[in-house]
């Protein structure tokens, strides 16, 4: 483990991303445990927390549900704990979270990274709706790294004062943008220790009906009173008092960009419960007020339901996608508010089109190549391997959420088995996250299909975090890794094959046997991710143009290192070319070339 960074003294000025600010705040405000499951945009919080010296423990858990359950225990023991996840992780953790919400425990901050624009997610669900209106949990919504830092401290205080979990709702821009932070006085929190409390911590129906559900609702008026006066929400004065804007989160930064000091702004820091009294007074003072918020009309609907006369919200702003200063300027102008043109710097810089693809030497490639050739119906999952659905591999035909692959394949195989093979495919991290129980059910119910576990020894898609299939923890302690093959066998699967992810012939042989096997069969395709721990260099390959017949079979493996050269065959077809700077020598293209035209770089 690298040297850990000391918590800086109060008053230190730093430039931090929201994720780094969150980690530093957790360490500064006495967090005893940081736990979570990786997911963009929040993965780097625990990656940063583990680098900071302090008395906290930092751990990745197998999934968001187990992370929250560990956090509940830490909270019951009187500890301070942050539990991190992306927005869809909240769905996985919802069961323990929603019941725990009705107990009275403190010190628990749930940090959720929402992803407006679905940059790296399967949906854009809005945590304010789920954790606020549905779960009744207080939510803080920071607008920059300083607020992330300060709001973590405030969240611990609210959690302790009202004895409730508190949600810190971040979004992609807040997580990843660097803005200045001035640090606070570091503190140490000593857990009070665990004490049995049957009526509070056992949500038996009798306890829940008598005490817990009512307490959950009784806590709300006190929280609302707090929200009405808390300095987390503030007002910016403006020179045009007839207008007003109610906003929160990253939208505040965009609003400031396009209205400057002209229009008064009510910037909400606590978004559940909403300070509706304060909102009503603001609107009374500024009769032409609009609500500017990303994603759902969360503030707008509650404001309208209270009968507060705003001009509108989603009538002017889109309900989907990430806001930019341009989008905000357009919406405000449509509502009739005076706006400045966003500065050039605020306009998004057009990116170079670069379709996502598996890396050169990715150990998933050969398996998808074979599945494509087998015309398999592939029920996929979430990870780098989801890219196996894109051309030219085109061998993944359904993908809904983490862990769904096995269940979907089982459902299809049960109801209407297609002519060609039914295959579920998922990575090691996903299998350990939520693939074990569906495999157990499928085997038990006698389903007949094939499962492929792509074991690259890491959680690659989110940046290479360790998982229980890896020999070291997030803190760098060595630990026995989970034997995936033994685990699959323990679930009752009898037909198991382990293959090298680079061995095309062996993968084909194992998949053919697995598909022919009646019942659930599992193929584990194993080879480390090509980027972990650093790019692995085997022998770099080249195309021998004397032998290449321009059939483009190698192109069909979809490696970004392979392109077409200027050199033509007799029939005018372009011969292939391998970029030696990108190739890592996995040999998959060499194995599929029908004429042996792919050779070692040094070979003549
Ligand atoms: C519920 C949920 N949690 C977290 C994520 C973020 N995420 C996307 S893929 C993935 C795991 C990928 O690891 P693995 O299955 O091993 O595949 P690899 O990327 O290594 O190929 C994670 C954590 C998510 N999409 N959904
Ligand atoms: S990061 Fe690893 S697993 Fe992901 S595409 Fe690249 S080589 Fe494959
Ligand atoms: S050997 Fe072939 S498939 Fe593997 S990285 Fe090099 S060019 Fe790509």
Instruction: Give the number of the atom of ligand 2 that is nearest the alpha carbon of residue 360.
Output: 7
Supply 350's token pair.
Answer: 């057009």
Out of 114, 387, 462, 465, give the residue to mutate to test ligand 1, the one with the largest number of ligand atoms within 8 Å of its CB: 462
Chain segment 393-449, per-residue pLDDT in tens: 999 999 999 999 999 999 999 998 889 999 999 999 999 999 999 999 999 999 999
- Tell which residue, 171, 117, 113, 162, has the closest CA to residue 138: 162
CA–CA distance, 564 with 583 (Å, rounded to integer): 15
Last residue of a domain, one of 291, 309, 341: 341
In a domain, 74, yes or no: yes
Do both 374 and 488 map to the same domain? Answer: yes
The enclosing domain of 585 has a CATH number of 3.30.70.20
Task: List pocket residues of ligand 1, CB cut-off 6 Å.
Answer: 37-39, 86, 88-89, 92, 382-385, 402, 427-430, 454, 456, 458-462
Do both 396 and 510 map to the same domain? Answer: yes
Do both 86 and 148 map to the same domain? Answer: yes
Instruction: Give the number of the atom of ligand 2 that is nearest the alpha carbon of residue 364.
Output: 8
In a domain, 596, yes or no: yes
pLDDT for 208? 74
In a domain, 534, yes or no: no
| Residue bearing tokens 């011969």 | 575
Do both 410 and 515 map to the same domain? Answer: yes
pLDDT interval class at 347 (50, 70, 90): low
Q: How many CB atoms lie within 10 A of CB 267?
A: 21
Supply 562's token pair.
Answer: 């392979």
Do both 311 and 405 map to the same domain? Answer: no
CA–CA distance, 483 with 274 (Å, rounded to integer): 49
Do both 63 and 166 map to the same domain? Answer: yes
Do both 440 and 465 map to the same domain? Answer: yes
Nearest protein CA to atom 10 of ligand 1, as residue: 383
Do both 158 and 266 map to the same domain? Answer: no
The enclosing domain of 315 has a CATH number of 3.40.50.920
Instruction: Give the number of the atom of ligand 3 that is nearest the alpha carbon of residue 582.
Output: 5
Backbone angles phi, psi at 459, to 5 degrees: -95, 85
DSSP lists the bridge partners of residue 379 as: 398, 424
Do both 583 and 562 map to the same domain? Answer: yes
In a domain, 459, yes or no: yes
Out of 544, 586, 601, give the residue to mutate to test ligand 3, the one with the largest number of ligand atoms within 8 Å of its CB: 586
Instruction: Give this prediction's pTM.
Output: 0.93
Task: Tell me whether strands 234-236 and 265-268 are parallel, antiparallel or unpaired.
Answer: antiparallel
In a domain, 304, yes or no: yes
Task: Tell me whether strands 178-182 and 166-171 are parallel, antiparallel or unpaired.
Answer: unpaired
Write out the DSSP string of 78-133: T--EEEEEEHHHHHHHHHHHHHHTTS---SEEEEEEE-TT-TTSS----HIIIIII
Chain segment 282-299, per-residue pLDDT in tens: 999 999 999 999 999 999
What b/e sequence results for 26-53 when a residue is b if at least 16 CB atoms lie within 10 Å of its CB, and e otherwise? bbbbbbbbbbbbbbbbbbbbbbbbbbbe
Supply 594's token pair.
Answer: 């029908």
Ligand closest to CA 356: 2
Last residue of a domain, one of 472, 491, 526: 526
In a domain, 349, yes or no: no
Please determine, for residue 344, whether its predicted confidence score (pLDDT) is greater than 80. no
pLDDT for 604? 43
In a domain, 583, yes or no: yes
Do both 377 and 306 map to the same domain? Answer: no
Structural domain of residue 595, as residue ranges?
A: 541-600
Give the mean model confidence (pLDDT) for residues 324-341.
93
Backbone angles phi, psi at 264, to 5 degrees: -60, 140
For residue 533, whether the previous peptide bond is cis, meaning omega lies within 30 degrees of 0, is: yes
Chain segment 195-253, per-residue pLDDT in tens: 999 988 988 887 777 777 777 788 999 999 999 999 999 999 999 999 999 999 999 99
For residue 41, whether the previous peptide bond is cis, meaning omega lies within 30 degrees of 0, is: yes
Write out the DSSP string of 360-378: TT-TTHHHHHHHHHTT-EE
The enclosing domain of 381 has a CATH number of 3.40.50.970
Do both 246 and 185 map to the same domain? Answer: no
Write out the DSSP string of 537-570: ----EEE-TTT--S--TGGGG--TTEEEEEEE-T
According to DSSP, residue 436 is labeled H
Is 112 near ligand 2, meaning CB less than 6 Å away?
A: no
In a domain, 104, yes or no: yes
Out of 354, 526, 529, 538, give the residue to mutate to test ligand 2, the one with the largest number of ligand atoms within 8 Å of its CB: 529
Counted domains in the chain: 4
What b/e sequence results for 436-449 when a residue is b if at least 16 CB atoms lie within 10 Å of its CB, and e otherwise? bebbbebbeeebbb
Instruction: Give the number of the atom of ligand 1 that is nearest the alpha carbon of residue 431.
Output: 15
Do both 266 and 312 map to the same domain? Answer: yes
Is 367 near ligand 2, meaning CB less than 6 Å away?
A: no
The residue among 318 and 353 whose pLDDT is bigger is: 318
């Amino acid at each position: 483990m690298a040297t850990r960074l000391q918590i800086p003294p109060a008053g230190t000025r730093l430039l931090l991303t929201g994720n780094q600010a969150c980690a530093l705040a957790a360490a500064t405000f006495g967090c005893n445990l940081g736990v979570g499951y990786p997911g963009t945009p929040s993965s780097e919080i625990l990656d940063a927390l583990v680098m900071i010296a302090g008395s906290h423990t930092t751990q990745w858990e197998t999934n968001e549900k187990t992370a929250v359950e560990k956090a509940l225990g830490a909270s019951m023991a009187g500890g301070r704990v942050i539990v991190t996840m992306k927005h869809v992780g909240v769905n996985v953790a919802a069961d323990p979270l929603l019941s725990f919400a009705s107990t009275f425990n403190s010190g628990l901050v749930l940090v959720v990274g929402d992803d407006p624009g679905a940059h790296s997610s399967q949906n854009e669900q809005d945590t304010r709706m789920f954790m606020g209106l549905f779960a009744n949990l207080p939510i803080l919504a920071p607008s920059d790294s300083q607020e992330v830092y300060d709001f973590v401290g405030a969240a611990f205080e609210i959690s302790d004062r009202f004895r409730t979990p508190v949600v810190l709702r971040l979004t992609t821009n807040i997580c990843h943008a660097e803005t200045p932070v001035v640090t606070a006085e570091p503190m140490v929190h000593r857990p009070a220790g665990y004490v049995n409390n049957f009526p509070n911590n056992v949500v038996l129906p009798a306890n829940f009906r008598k005490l817990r559900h009512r307490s959950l609702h009784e806590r709300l008026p006190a929280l609302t009173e707090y929200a009405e006066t808390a300095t987390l929400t503030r007002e910016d004065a403006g020179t045009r008092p007839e207008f007003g804007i109610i906003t929160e989160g990253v939208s505040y930064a965009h609003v400031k960009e396009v209205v400057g000091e002209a229009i008064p702004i009510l910037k909400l820091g606590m978004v559940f419960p909403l300070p509706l009294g304060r909102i009503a007074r603001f609107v009374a003072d500024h009769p032409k007020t609009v609500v500017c918020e990303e994603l759902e009309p969360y503030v707008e609907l509650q404001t309208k339901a209270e009968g507060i006369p705003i001009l509108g919200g989603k009538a002017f702003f889109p309900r989907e996608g990430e806001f930019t200063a341009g989008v905000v300027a357009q919406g405000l102008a449509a509502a009739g508010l005076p706006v400045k043109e966003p500065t050039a710097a605020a306009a998004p810089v057009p990116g170079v089109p670069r379709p996502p693809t598996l890396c050169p030497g990715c150990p998933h490639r050969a398996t998808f190549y074979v599945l494509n050739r087998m015309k398999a119906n592939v029920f996929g999952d979430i990870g780098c391997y989801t890219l196996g659905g894109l051309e030219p591999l085109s061998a993944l035909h359904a993908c809904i959420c983490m862990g769904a692959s096995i269940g979907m394949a089982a459902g299809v195989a049960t109801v209407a088995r297609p002519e060609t093979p039914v295959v579920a495919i998922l990575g090691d991290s996903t299998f350990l996250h939520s693939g074990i129980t569906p495999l157990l059910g499928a085997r038990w119910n006698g389903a007949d299909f094939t499962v492929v576990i792509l074991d690259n020894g890491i959680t690659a898609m989110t940046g290479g975090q360790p998982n229980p299939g890896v020999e070291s923890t997030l803190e760098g302690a060595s630990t026995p890794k989970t034997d995936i093959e033994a685990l699959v066998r323990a679930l009752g699967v009898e037909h198991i094959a382990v293959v090298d992810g680079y061995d095309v012939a062996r993968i084909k042989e194992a998949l053919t046997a697995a598909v022919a096997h009646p019942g659930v069969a599992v193929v584990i395709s194993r080879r480390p991710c090509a980027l972990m721990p650093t790019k692995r260099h085997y022998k770099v390959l080249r195309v021998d143009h004397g032998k290449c017949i321009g059939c483009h079979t190698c192109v069909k493996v979809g490696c970004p290192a392979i392109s077409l050269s200027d050199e033509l065959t007799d029939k005018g077809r372009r011969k292939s070319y391998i970029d030696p700077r990108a190739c890592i020598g996995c040999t998959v293209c060499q194995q599929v070339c029908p004429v042996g035209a792919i050779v070692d770089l040094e070979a003549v």
